[in-house]
Chains A and B, each alone.
Chain A
């Protein structure tokens, strides 16, 4: 089975303290560390496990700049066979639809049976997977937490439904799935693993290679433009506890007690 996994390089929420930049329209990115979007690791792990069982290849793809190559290498260190970097100045400033357009062009160049994305990205809108499926006219399932290959042309897909219920579906291939965390336990990738794949070739494709009209992507093609980015003001009833950790804990316990939450 040929599987394409779309991944994204994001500022790591676990290892950063976010502050706004002076212009107030984005994060202050000077001191940020980046990594693979957490959901994408689950998608890649799932793809590798499928290929281990039924054979085939896993290709990871990302839209980004030169620095995005590091996330491709990390996923290749996990076990993805190929990486493709989609990079072009014309791609900068793409909205979700622009990213989906770029990815669609790459999907059509290949011969993929299954396309996986993360359910969402740390700083994203959870929209690319669905748009990509629609543009390709492929079936789509979101928030997938179980996956089983039934044959050459069908898979069984489980989705977690709000409230903790589980849904199971049979789907025809090719299709697009957005993968939820918890579907598996992604394997660890250390420095050694990344060094092992350091010399592997990762082709870079631009708008021309993909046969894309530059005006449909990037800032020019974006129909959605970010106009503001801020930490919301505290609403009514919200209150920030202050002090040392111990003091905050004491205050919190006091509050829970006073509302009858603790005997």
Chain B
């Protein structure tokens, strides 16, 4: 029996029952919360459809790994650990918070099953949880107010600083921890004073410390403090609940849903509209996202879920080079607009054209679709599909910069962005010296082969990059692969055409390629262009299996079909640069590295930003034609990173990376110090 009166029986001034508050606060709190949530749901109901109920086992796994285990959090060490502590603490304390609400109505209430040993263990655990959360809040507040990591800053053009909200919420959480602990500490102190012994408290926990502080106070003071702390906790708790949907802390509620519904397949682009087949596209009134409600409900949920941690923008290459794009603010600006157009009471406003209202055209064109942001987001927020949907809307409205109109028109007329003639697509294979050594079959007029080498536009037409095509053909030849090319029947893979929002042109090119490939009767496809690899594998349907040349090289080295010489330049230091469309979008990180390591005596180092944190070279396909506003080229930053790693040769496995990195070397003034080469060149040179 407690010497203190609990909130359920306490009477203010001896007459007014506190239980009234215990009843009113939760009822009002929950009513407000339900109302706010209903208003917040309104835009999701109006949003475009999205199919997010496929592959439930994978979704459950994501929940376990990304949500529950917070797998992505420690990629940013200190912030990540703080978050894990607060998150785990919240989960543990949710039980305590629930029972506390009922204690206000029924003294000494214990949740079923928590009355025995389980309850004791739980109490022990939750005392430490509250303590840990409290400490994590102090560390987090210190970071917000003193260390101030750069990624939290809000550039002026994006609005006001967000520190106040962050610190306010940390204060709320701390208040919850302190009041809960004091509520219990006063009770234990009173018990000790009355009976000479109290319950065992977790040593050095908040409640343990507080008990030491309050023991010796009179029963009257303890009683007052006990009741006060209960209602401080109760009020703060329900205030916090209703405050969550007002800003970045909405993620406390939405994260579990956002992670469950996050994208599962990688590398592909969402259909123009879920539920509309490619044949029905012509019937659609409008394409892409033009107004707020054109986003899918999942994309709206993304906007709600953003915790404003800034990791996406910290990893974004466009942001790093000063392009007018910061993925974080793509989300924040949309969320602000939702809050403005869907206020908590009153009229719902109509959205204006997004690219004129909250976004700019250049902002949306600035994205290279490298995927660094999505890889990083601890909440599974996606960006590429949103960018593509916004671009679809812009293309539909005719808002395409002149620099992109030319290559798009050339793609429509000639099937390549350069406007070169179709009949010259296979000219790279007739270069004299090469043709003498290697005969490349063109799969037309009944010629057949097991494997199709899909060359794609840049390797077919670019003087410099044609070398990749020739080395690839030589490697295939040496590995004993029966291969051929499509010649003039091959069109651009259109990986960037769909990503730049020109859906119908993509459909057209995809149709032509699909028909030509199926007609050729090949059983496999290989390509040295990761963009082609990605499109054929993830955006086309019904094709034979596709491999990137790096996979085939590693496979053939392992099988003994290809043997490599000792390193020709053992004095050089090689570093491998992960192309986005090989690495992040398709998970091929090890094959190219294994191929390099198969060259005996070759020295290889790694850049700090590698594998899934690789830094985009500047973008491929149509991105080569786009003229962005930027302070420095991505390629230059990448070359500097390679130099920092001590490399003298940057090896990549993508024609566009090669172009951008070679340019980067020139612009960085590092010619003679560092060179760039494609994997196919290095391997072909080392063929034994």
Chain A partners chain B: yes
**Contact residues of A with B, CB < 8 Å?**
12, 14-17, 31, 33, 35, 78, 185-193, 195, 244-246
A187 to B508, CA, bound (A): 21
Chain B hits for A14, CB < 8 A: 406, 409-410, 419
CB of A188 within 8 A of CB of B405, answer yes
Which residue of A12, A17, A78, A246 is within 8 Å of B398 (Cβ)? A78
Which residue of A16, A35, A192, A193 is within 8 Å of B409 (Cβ)? A35
Chain B hits for A188, CB < 8 A: 395, 398-400, 404-405, 408
Interface string of B431-466 (1 = CB under 8 A from A): 000000000000000000000000000000001100
- Given A14-B406, A33-B413: A190 touches B463 (CB 8 Å cut-off): no
Chain B hits for A192, CB < 8 A: 281-282, 287, 396, 503-504
Which residue of A16, A17, A187, A191 is within 8 Å of B504 (Cβ)? A191
A79 to B508, CA, bound (A): 23
Q: Is the interface of B mostly helix, strand, loop or mixed?
A: helix
A57 to B281, CA, bound (A): 29
CB of B398 within 8 A of CB of A193, answer yes
Closest 8 CB pairs of A and B: A187-B398, A15-B419, A188-B400, A191-B504, A33-B413, A192-B504, A188-B398, A245-B463
CB of A190 within 8 A of CB of B408, answer yes
Tell me, rounded to whole Å, the shortest Cβ–Cβ distance linking A13 to chain B.
9
Closest chain B residue to A13, Cβ basis = B419
Which residue of B395, B410, B421 is within 8 Å of A190 (Cβ)? B395
Chain A hits for B402, CB < 8 A: 185-186
Chain A hits for B396, CB < 8 A: 190, 192-193
Which residue of A186, A191, A244 is within 8 Å of B463 (Cβ)? A244
Closest chain B residue to A79, Cβ basis = B398
Instruction: List 15 extra interface pairs beyond A35-B413, A190-B408, A192-B503, CB under 8 A.
Output: A12-B409, A14-B419, A15-B414, A16-B419, A16-B421, A17-B420, A17-B421, A33-B414, A78-B398, A186-B405, A187-B400, A190-B502, A193-B396, A245-B464, A246-B464
Tell me, rounded to whole Å, the shortest Cβ–Cβ distance linking A217 to chain B.
31
CB of A191 within 8 A of CB of B412, answer yes
A46 to B503, CA, bound (A): 27
Interface string of B275-316 (1 = CB under 8 A from A): 000000110000100000000000000000000000000000
Q: Is the interface of A mostly helix, strand, loop or mixed?
A: loop
- Given A191-B412, A191-B505: A31 touches B423 (CB 8 Å cut-off): yes
Tell me, rounded to whole Å, the shortest Cβ–Cβ distance linking A75 to chain B.
12
Interface string of B409-429 (1 = CB under 8 A from A): 110111000011101000000
A195 to B423, CA, bound (A): 27
Chain A hits for B404, CB < 8 A: 188
Query: 12 A–B contact pairs at CB < 8 A?
Result: A14-B406, A14-B410, A15-B409, A35-B409, A185-B402, A188-B400, A189-B398, A191-B504, A192-B281, A192-B287, A193-B396, A244-B463
Chain A hits for B508, CB < 8 A: 191
Chain B hits for A78, CB < 8 A: 398
A192 to B400, CA, bound (A): 14
A14 to B408, CA, bound (A): 12
Closest chain A residue to B409, Cβ basis = A35
A149 to B272, CA, bound (A): 39
Which residue of A12, A17, A244, A246 is within 8 Å of B413 (Cβ)? A12
- Given A16-B419, A195-B282: A190 touches B464 (CB 8 Å cut-off): no
A31 to B424, CA, bound (A): 12
Chain A hits for B395, CB < 8 A: 188, 190
A252 to B420, CA, bound (A): 24
- Given A185-B402, A187-B398: A195 touches B504 (CB 8 Å cut-off): yes
A188 to B419, CA, bound (A): 17
Closest chain A residue to B503, Cβ basis = A192
- Given A31-B423, A185-B402, A244-B463: A190 touches B505 (CB 8 Å cut-off): yes
A35 to B400, CA, bound (A): 18
A35 to B420, CA, bound (A): 15
Chain A hits for B463, CB < 8 A: 244-245
A193 to B282, CA, bound (A): 10
A246 to B466, CA, bound (A): 14
CB of B410 within 8 A of CB of A15, answer yes
Chain B hits for A35, CB < 8 A: 409, 413
A193 to B420, CA, bound (A): 24
A39 to B504, CA, bound (A): 26
A148 to B190, CA, bound (A): 86
Closest chain A residue to B505, Cβ basis = A191
A33 to B419, CA, bound (A): 10
A35 to B405, CA, bound (A): 13
A226 to B66, CA, bound (A): 74
Tell me, rounded to whole Å, the shortest Cβ–Cβ distance linking A247 to chain B.
10
A144 to B679, CA, bound (A): 52
Tell me, rounded to whole Å, the shortest Cβ–Cβ distance linking A189 to chain B.
7
Chain A hits for B401, CB < 8 A: 185
A235 to B400, CA, bound (A): 42
Interface string of B604-634 (1 = CB under 8 A from A): 0000000000000000000000000000000
CB of B405 within 8 A of CB of A15, answer no
A163 to B235, CA, bound (A): 75
* Candidate in B398, B400, B410 with the most chain A CB atoms within 10 angstroms: B398
Chain A hits for B413, CB < 8 A: 12, 15, 33, 35
Tell me, rounded to whole Å, the shortest Cβ–Cβ distance linking B343 to chain A.
32
Tell me, rounded to whole Å, the shortest Cβ–Cβ distance linking A28 to chain B.
12
Tell me, rounded to whole Å, the shortest Cβ–Cβ distance linking B27 to chain A.
54
A125 to B405, CA, bound (A): 26
Tell me, rounded to whole Å, the shortest Cβ–Cβ distance linking B396 to chain A.
7
A31 to B398, CA, bound (A): 29
* Candidate in A185, A186, A190 with the most chain B CB atoms within 10 angstroms: A190
* Candidate in B397, B413, B464 with the most chain A CB atoms within 10 angstroms: B413
Chain A hits for B281, CB < 8 A: 192
A190 to B397, CA, bound (A): 10
A193 to B286, CA, bound (A): 11
Chain B hits for A193, CB < 8 A: 396, 398
Chain A hits for B502, CB < 8 A: 190-191
Which B residues from 40 to 73 make CB contacts under 8 A with A? none
A12 to B420, CA, bound (A): 11
